Amino acid sequence: MIAIQNFDSAEVRTFPHGQFEICQVGGHSIGRARYQPGWRWSRDVGPRAGTDLCQASHVGVVLAGKAAVRMADGHEFALRAGDAFIIPGGHDSWVIGNEPYVSIHLATTGGQAAH
């Protein structure tokens, strides 16, 4: 099976300082996170989600910019352009510096690709 969807026709979820675009392709969700300087999950997405920390797991790759991640246990690390990542639920994240952050997230249909 071949399936193609351009991000120009993706579902777009907007929130303060960012957006998340989702393509449904052949039983998979592929998301593109685009966060501006000042974006922070706990402030810009958390109130809408009703939780202090993001409970979704993420698998993806950073295309541009930098972001910090703090796990519920206090472990903190940074993501930079070129980093592939797997991050379990129970974390906060935010953009580092003055450059926009862009990443691609992968999930099977029914999974949560978005922050």
Percent helix, percent strand, percent coil in the chain, to nearest 5 = 10, 50, 40
pLDDT tens for each residue of 20-30? 999 999 889 99
pLDDT of residue 108: 55
pTM tops 0.85: yes
Cβ-based neighbours of 74, under 8 Å, separated by 6 or more: none
How far is the C-alpha of 3 from the C-alpha of 26, rounded, in Å? 6
Residues of the chain with pLDDT under 50: 109-114
pLDDT of residue 111: 46
Mean pLDDT of the chain: 92
pLDDT of residue 44: 94
How far is the C-alpha of 11 from the C-alpha of 24, rounded, in Å? 9
Structure tokens at 104: 């691609």
The H or E element that residue 20 is part of is strand 18-25
CATH 2.60.120.10 given to domain 11-108: yes
How far is the C-alpha of 53 from the C-alpha of 63, rounded, in Å? 23
Number of Cα atoms under 13 Å in the Cβ half of residue 19: 8
pLDDT of residue 26: 86
